[in-house]
Structure 1
């Protein structure tokens, strides 16, 4: 949880509306000039990631990189204790993902080794604790990911898990029920 005085990622400093206007215009000017081959490749990549094209394009445009992985909270996977199986709809979605790292973040009392036993997970890490500071959350996530954090999207269930994305400067956050919904991507 963020401490007293934290702005939850909002920028209220002077010039924010101008920067937003310029960024929005630049994105709008860029989109019509993309060659059709690039658009087709990105549509295909969005499908490999299980994302709608619009969501994928927005994430890619916001950080300038392709996604290489997802960080799934154990809550998002619906695995809350050792031996519990992931629901079939979530397991099916995990298996259809192509060319992407699937990292699970084990929240207490679950341990990474217990989460790693699940099919569909490439790696498992220790999730930040509720009592961690913003910088501790950042360090916990960044030190355990197999690649730069800005190339991963968090898929989670709670506002606390959304904070992981913000604290570690990750590519974005997706609500688990929307990501795993039938027909998504």
Structure 2
């Protein structure tokens, strides 16, 4: 078949093999080739944050920033009533975290008291379940502004879908379950 005007006589684009080749090449050109020392530095940083490298690299690639703070929910810490002790392994992991830690307490909990127990930079009573998106967004943005934090540099460690929605409403860097952060276990999705 004769090619029409404007045809560059290249391979037919209908070919799935050609499209796959183009996609692989474009993807490879997008990904930066990092020097080994940069990768080593990022692996050390991930470890100092208590994250596996894949999670850290994913958050960093998504936001384009390093993480400077963590927002832990009381659910992620496994604290459901005032005065309840924090599991020793969780307390130990918090002491070596190389970023500011903040606490978001669930309803009925004394956020300030829990914040003092984990040496948090701030304590916040999270919006209650059933809050509208706009309300959650406004509260999260006000909390970030009050503490001079860029949302995309704060990782939320939580447990519930409500907390995941709060992370999205506030424009935070991402969300990891407390189970994954503290034990390394991942839930099947």
- Shorter-chain TM range is 0.7 to 0.9
Q: 1:49 to 1:142 in 2, by over 3 A?
A: same
Partner SS for 1:117: helix
Between the two proteins, the alignment pairs up a number of residues equal to 162
Identify the residue that residue 173 of structure 1 maps to in structure 2: 175
Structure 1 partner of 2:140: 141
1:152 aligned onto 2:121: no
The structure whose Rg is larger is: 2
**Cα displacement (A) at 1:75:** 0.6
Closer/same/farther in 2, CA of residues 40 and 118 from structure 1, 3 Å limit: same
Residues 91, 120 of structure 1: 8 Å contact kept: no
Give the superposed CA RMSD: 2.4
The 2-side partners of 1:177 and 1:37 are apart by: 31
CA distance in 1, matches of 2:24, 2:141: 29
Find the residue that maps to 1:180 and give its secondary structure.
helix
1:1-57 per-position Cα deviation (integer Å, ceiling 9, x unaligned)? xxxxxxxxxxxxxxxxxxxxxx99776435451112211111111011000111100
Structure with more contact order per residue of length (Cα contacts < 8 Å, sep ≥ 6): 1
TM-score (norm 2): 0.77
Q: Distance in 2 between matches of 1:132 and 1:91?
A: 30
CA contact (8 A) 2:156 2:176 kept: yes
2:9 corresponds in structure 1 to: none
Q: Does 1:40 align with 2:36?
A: no
- Do the aligned partners of residues 34 and 127 (structure 1) sit closer, same or farther apart at CA in structure 2, a change above 3 Å counting? same
Alignment of 1:13-32 (within 5 A): 28-31=28-31
Larger mean Cα displacement after TM superposition, 125-134 or 113-122: 113-122
Deviates more, 1:124-133 or 1:46-55: 124-133
1:78 paired to 2:63: no
Deviations 1:96-126 (A, max 9, x none): 111x110110111012212122134232112
Alignment gaps of 5+ in structure 1: 1-22
Offset from partner CA, 1:127-168 (integer Å, 9 cap, x none):
111121111111212211340111111111111111111111
